[in-house]
Chains A and B, each alone.
Chain A
Amino acid sequence: MSEMIGMTRRKDVVVVEDLQMVYRVSKLEVPALRGVDFTVKEGEFVAVIGPSGCGKSTLLHLIGGLLKPTSGRILIEGVSISSVSDFERTEIRRQRMGFVFQSYNLLNTLTARENIALAKRIQGNGHYEDGSAHQILRMLGLENKMDHKPWELSGGEQQRVAIARAVINRPAILLADEPTGSLDSENSRMVLNMLRELNSVYGQTIIIITHDPEAAATADRVIEMRDGKILNRVQNMFYAMEEKRS
């Protein structure tokens, strides 16, 4: 489950084993994942790429505990979320995961500050006004936008608020579904830089789903999917770097 690299011991944060997912539409069975295996280590930045309908989003939702697989296993920090109850899966999601979506998914009735605070409250940490939160907000360049409602923010700003909301509880894994899909190239670059910084400065483990080659290039490792299967591991800078270090 873990790997010794020199004196550094890196945990397996996500382990996916023979994951299968079949959607049932009336009497029709539609396979979305056909036996997916991979591991994501602590502090790794992984991009999952592939054409539409290849099962990327299903994979992300399964890792995030939003869906239950038809068969196979997903371990989050050693805990199998595919076999626990709905209540426990929600608890893992609350304590260990952060989500970023293509369409930002901020609550329009709340300000940026309140959107972020809500994530903190749902996690049960009360107020978000602590030192680490300020650091993150400063890093995301949101300090002056905190009292704005989502519609008063640009797409890039909204996505940065969504990232802040996702990482405010210091989750073990940040799952991002097409985080730059609705942004122009400048804002895309800014968001990707921030994800990169979160990963390199805070050691945040990140898995992103993307069509964007630039976004994929930001990651340490790229997993390519097609027809519900992993084709190959295109790039593994993370392992390369670790190996080089060791």
Chain B
Amino acid sequence: MFKLILSNLRQRPTRTLVSVIAVALGVALLLVSMGLSYGQLVDTVRRAQGIGGDFILQPSEASVIFALNSGTIPVRVQKVIEEVEGVEAATPILAKFLGDQFHIVFGIDPESFGRVNSTLSFVEGGRFSEPREVIIDTIYANSKKMKAQDPLQILGHEFTVSGVFREGIGARVLLPLTTLQELNGTPDKATMFFIRAKEEVALEQVYESLQERFENYKITKTAELQEIMMDSTPVFKEFVTAMVFISVTISFLIILLAMYSTITERTREIGILKSLGASKSYIVRLILNESLLICAVGVGLGFLATFVVIELLMAAFPTLPVAISLFWRVTAAAMAVTGGTLGALYPAVKAAGMDPVKALGYE
């Protein structure tokens, strides 16, 4: 059967190629879009967790998408947080989304930030000591080809890069909290607080104490940030569903079209197979296996196309985070195969049900 399938596909190379490319397109579309959206989300979570806090305190209506919030919590809340039993340290952070550069900057208080975070390390230069100094991470520095002491424009003001830190902590650009408050027009305000619990105290206990003390605020465990972000990111789930649907639909329609036209062209061949005693299930398997082979090659090509597109995107936008998990690879392959199989099912059943005499007489 495999030889027959292979020879049929070789006999119609253009249609086979178009079908394979279409399946690959569906796979690549799903993987690239998921890779970019999940990449952004996973990267945000990783860097938030990189700050080192165990909890994030925000106003009750705030989003865990930091870029969507402005600074509304008074900085003096820090002292109240640190008075809660089991809290080691708290640090205020003002997040500001730079629309023109499409990334977020954090305003940090170096002293308290240092008490919450213990992993900030520099590959070049050091912490800022002046209001108009910033520190940037290695990815930002590499993508902008910047180094310590280089000038950097933020919100229409010129800063000097005082140091380049290893990426994975907070934002790609960190600047003094007071400076960002001033530029943002929100003096003494923070977007959120990162809170570190004492090591000897159980996190759950600290969490309950914080919730009790700040009942009108939202307390998020940083360990659960990814799950919470997926649930609360606007239209994220709808976007994922739409992407999966589009991917399946592309495979379904293309395979349906290809297989439908192929069985029409091969009506006589189906009649011959029936005259040889091929059962209905044999004909169905023949058509389904043919579509499976197209889908399998399409999935492989889709993976390759995804790799190429991601490499090109990374070369063009080095700060772009991309995360294509095994789950999404398997999902993309499964969706392509499901769409292809569903698309081939109707033509396969139609072929199996053909009247052999009419099929043999088909010209």
Q: Which residues of A contact B (CB under 8 A)?
A: 61, 64, 66-67, 86-87, 90-91, 93-95, 97, 99, 101, 105-110, 114, 118-119, 121-123, 165
- B277 pairs with A123, CB closer than 8 A: yes
Instruction: Knowing that A66-B357, A119-B276 touch, tell me 4 more A-B residue pairs with CB under 8 angstroms.
Output: A86-B280, A108-B11, A118-B4, A122-B277
Q: Is the CB of A105 within 8 A of B272?
A: yes
> A61's contact among B8, B269, B282, B357, by CB below 8 Å, is which?
B357
Alpha-carbon distance between A101 and B274 when the two chains are bound, in angstroms? 13
Contact of A99 among B4, B8, B276 (CB under 8 A): B276
- Is B228 among interface residues, defined by CB-CB distance under 8 A? no
| A109 with B279: CB separation less than 8 A | no
Q: Are A94 and B279 in contact (CB under 8 A)?
A: yes
Query: Any chain A CB within 8 A of the CB of B183?
Result: no
Bin the interface of chain B by size: 20 to 34
Contacts of A109 in B (CB 8 A): 4, 7-8, 10-11
Residue contact A101 to B10, C-beta cutoff 8 Å? no
Q: Pick the contact of B278 from A66, A99, A114, A122 — CB < 8 Å?
A: A122
Contacts of B279 in A (CB 8 A): 87, 90-91, 94
B273 at the interface (CB under 8 A from A): yes
A105 touching B268 in the complex, CB below 8 Å, given contacts A87-B279, A110-B4, A119-B276: yes
Residue numbers in A under 8 Å from B1 (CB-CB) = 121
Cβ contact within 8 Å between A114 and B276: no
Q: Which residues from A are CB-within-8-Å of B274? A: 66, 90
5 sampled A-B residue pairs with Cβ under 8 A: A61-B357, A107-B269, A110-B7, A118-B276, A165-B276
CA distance A136 to B91 in the complex (A): 90
Q: When chains A and B are docked, how far (Å) is the Cα of A54 from the Cα of B269? A: 27
Q: Are the C-beta atoms of A105 and B357 separated by less than 8 Å?
A: no
CB-contacts of B142-190 with A (<8 A):
none
Say yes or no: A67-B357 contact (C-beta < 8 A), given A93-B275, A97-B277, A109-B8.
yes
A122 and B276 contacting across the interface, CB-CB below 8 Å: yes
Measured in the bound complex, the distance between the Cα atoms of B278 and A107 in whole Å is: 14
A177 to B172, CA, bound (A): 80
Residues in A whose Cβ lies below 8 Å from that of B10: 109
- The CA-CA distance from A93 to B357 in the complex, in Å, is 14
Task: Give the nearest-CB partner of A87 in chain B.
Answer: B279
Interface assignment of B356: CB less than 8 Å from any CB of chain A: yes
**Cross-chain contact of B3 among A91, A95, A110 (Cβ < 8 A):** A110
B3 near A99 (CB under 8 angstroms)? no
Residues in A with CB closer than 8 Å to B269 are: 107
Q: Tell me which residues across on chain B come within 8 A of A122, comparing CB atoms.
A: 273, 276-278, 282
Closest to B6 in A: A109
Please name the residue on chain B nearest to A109 by beta carbon: B7
| A94-B277, A94-B279, A105-B360 as given contacts; A114 in contact with B3, CB under 8 Å | yes
A67, A91, A105, A110: which contacts B277 (Cβ < 8 A)? A91
Q: Complex: how many Å from CA A144 to CA B177?
A: 88
**Can you name the residue of chain B whose Cβ is closest to the Cβ of A121?**
B1
